[in-house]
Structure 1
């Protein structure tokens, strides 16, 4: 049987069809070809249209079917991975009430900070393992406070993947993992947090039906099946945020295992069996895909908003629309250290690992008479790698000490320059895999359907390459220079600059 996986990204939608017996991807497609717009009505805001996502999902499926590499009627289950922390609101007729306030939107930071103090910092961290920050619950509170007419019409709140599941099936469901990423979940008691609901004055009826990640989340509607060339009634059997899904696809499921990716944002994601939290909430802990109330599996997540988005910005504004491969080739011609250029990649909203500060992206030591495009290209990749090192040190403070990091050979990790800078500045070997979020979602669908298990789904997966740190390189020196510049930008508060 075949499995359909959907990866709802910020830039585009990608879908893949996988054979459940071999776990081989038969075909993939994405839509649109150009990166989707992020709507920024004010500085620090970030929105996207859920209906745009849905149109792109349908077109991506049709594009994949058009390859004629499989029979769409052989697809028996659907899995969905999605950009985390977004807020989607619908009325009783399942009509979208406003654009989604997405993951990198910073407008609700102060609302979250006030709730953190009002509930009590220690209580928040002990129960939710996070501060409310600018996560989904705080975004909903912003709507309630600033758009009361919209708020009054809300029937259900959803994460982005819940919305896509609703469009497929007409059913609205969610999971503990999804609720935890929105800071709606009390891990101590394994219930929806009364502290959050009471603090913001939310009604319990706004929360969808809660089901396991690997469970049926509705069945494909007949009219939609006909439009997409699929069989009516096939179930959605998996929904997970993109970072837990990426970890699943890298077989990062057991305590101590760690994965990373560097797309629009950058993430290091480790698994723990402890109710772990950072006292400053610079890293976040959510329910992993295999979390149950009997077997705690937590995803400890370090997120950097401004990573690959900087590379994209440089390509479109400085790179004369060169391809990423061309930029990587030119960056590789420059020695490590980028001839002194140091770049801070933090230009995509408030950064949690910087205590929710918004410091922007910065270029340092740029000499207009000396430096060339190629040196900027390399400095961008090194700056992104250094931001990962800064975040990894925070994870180390909290007991996460990886001996190896798994990553997909995609996005920034498709660049040898970036991978070299990452490995040598972090001092940890990296295993590179043939990895794809939409393929991971299809495998998740197979686990939810019961044709695969967590134990056997990735038994055939082997790394493409292992990159070991070079003890003789100079990256530690370059990183410490970069870090001193960063500390000057954020503050001299020791709680930030540690």
Structure 2
């Protein structure tokens, strides 16, 4: 018997088929083969057609069923992971009224900022654990202000994963974790944040019915079965945004456990059982997948926009053939890159730097001694130092890391990068080879609460290795302090 997991990203849809008994992945399929289209009508806008998501999901599902030859009736559950913070508006027939305003769209920044000031920073921090910022609720307000006729015809406002679940099951519902990522949830009252919706003059009836993250959320309809190839009646048993799901995929559920990713941007996602929001201007706080009023589990999300994109930029512009070659070049240079410092913040404003846009900066180059390998090492160290800087922010917000688990992506494959972080925070980093789609498939078993078996499957199937703190800690500390001083000088003058 098997479960199926979807991971709806902004570049592709991934689907994974997993054996229930062992947790082993049979296959992972990605569609389309090229990146999905993203429409940007104006600078800072980003939209996608929800029905394109559905088309690619159906194609990927049919393909994985064909390749694995697994009978559809042997698939006993479906899990869904999805790009966070997007907005899908549908009419009473469930038809999208416009393209989805997705996570990286910045049109509602000023709306969220004004709401934060008008409603009060303390009130938002205490109740929402965040500023309304550029999240889904603020995007909904933008539609009301700028597309009033479309808003009047709206029946429900959904997150991207809610829409996929609806297309599969015909049911429109959402989760507390999802509502918290959209900044619709009041953690103090344990209810939809009606006062925020009132301020935005948004009708609460637009918010879908709430179901538990791990629960029977609906069943594949005859139409859903026809279009995907799945069996009619297959239950949807799990749904979560991509960052909470990434943490789940790494078996991160409890206070002190931290999930890290190092893709185009970097993410540190730490679990806590308190509502501290001292760093709410730099850290986002969401209800984790196993959150409940009785068992507080908050995911603190810190993002480093300028992470893997910095490394990729060097790869392309130094005419290096592969990341492996970059890592080998970097290994020729000692800790600290003989003084070269790279601040990798060239991918737009950094929330953890209070939304300052420093741009990527390369400094302290001595033309007599520094060369390509120095730039490679300085980039790896600079990105690693950014993660450590972020961990310091989380520590100030009450996080005490006990376990750090990371996916086996480009950055964490580099020993210099992982060893630098492990040595500076004095914490072992466990590396796992998994994906969000595999995690979503495995999560179907958690509606029965069997976390021990879930964790064992991850260890048995995905664990690769651990990076332990180096004996050269003082050298790492010296290099980090030089980098940090350079960063704080730039921040002071920006």
Residues 120/33 of structure 1: CA separation in 2 closer, same or farther (3 Å cut): same
Partner of 1:306: 306
Partner of 2:454: 457
Residue 393 of structure 2 corresponds to residue 394 of structure 1: yes
Partner of 1:218: 218
Q: Is the 8 A contact 1:305 1:346 kept in 2?
A: yes
Q: Is the 8 A contact 1:17 1:439 kept in 2?
A: yes
| TM-score, scaled to structure 1 | 0.90
Partner of 1:481: 482
| TM-score, scaled to structure 2 | 0.90
In the aligned structure 2, how far is the partner of 1:39 from the partner of 1:362?
A: 30
Return the offset for 1:310: 3.5
Return the offset for 1:348: 3.6
Q: Is the 8 A contact 1:30 1:63 kept in 2?
A: no
In the aligned structure 1, how far is the partner of 2:311 from the partner of 2:156?
A: 36
Residues 160/367 of structure 1: CA separation in 2 closer, same or farther (3 Å cut): farther
Residues 34/482 of structure 1: CA separation in 2 closer, same or farther (3 Å cut): farther
Partner of 2:261: 261
Q: Deviations over 1:253-311 (max 9, x none)?
A: 12222221122332212222222212542112211111112222111222223323333
Structural mapping, 1:281-430, within 5 Å: 281-315=281-315, 317-318=316-317, 320=319, 322-338=321-337, 340-365=339-364, 374-430=373-429
For structure 2, the 5+ residue unaligned runs are: none
Q: Is the 8 A contact 1:27 1:69 kept in 2?
A: no
Residues 341/59 of structure 1: CA separation in 2 closer, same or farther (3 Å cut): farther
Q: How many residues get paired?
A: 490
In the aligned structure 2, how far is the partner of 1:307 from the partner of 1:445?
A: 32
Q: Is the 8 A contact 2:311 2:380 kept in 1?
A: yes
Return the offset for 1:202: 0.8
Return the offset for 1:241: 1.0
Residues 60/300 of structure 1: CA separation in 2 closer, same or farther (3 Å cut): same
Residues 282/311 of structure 1: CA separation in 2 closer, same or farther (3 Å cut): same
In terms of mean alpha carbon deviation, does 103-112 or 356-365 score higher?
Answer: 356-365
In terms of mean alpha carbon deviation, does 30-39 or 160-169 score higher?
Answer: 30-39
In the aligned structure 2, how far is the partner of 1:355 from the partner of 1:404?
A: 27
In the aligned structure 2, how far is the partner of 1:205 from the partner of 1:368?
A: 64
Partner of 1:157: 157
Residue 54 of structure 2 corresponds to residue 54 of structure 1: yes
In the aligned structure 2, how far is the partner of 1:251 from the partner of 1:4?
A: 18
Partner of 1:95: 95
Return the offset for 1:484: 3.0
Q: Report the secondary structure of 1:67's partner residue.
A: helix
Residue 177 of structure 2 corresponds to residue 180 of structure 1: no
Q: Is the 8 A contact 2:279 2:397 kept in 1?
A: no
Return the offset for 1:6: 1.0
For structure 1, the 5+ residue unaligned runs are: 494-498
In the aligned structure 1, how far is the partner of 2:385 from the partner of 2:125?
A: 28
RMSD in angstroms over aligned alpha carbons?
2.6
Return the offset for 1:210: 0.9
In the aligned structure 1, how far is the partner of 2:164 from the partner of 2:435?
A: 19
Q: Deviations over 1:176-214 (max 9, x none)?
A: 000001111011110001221111111011111111101
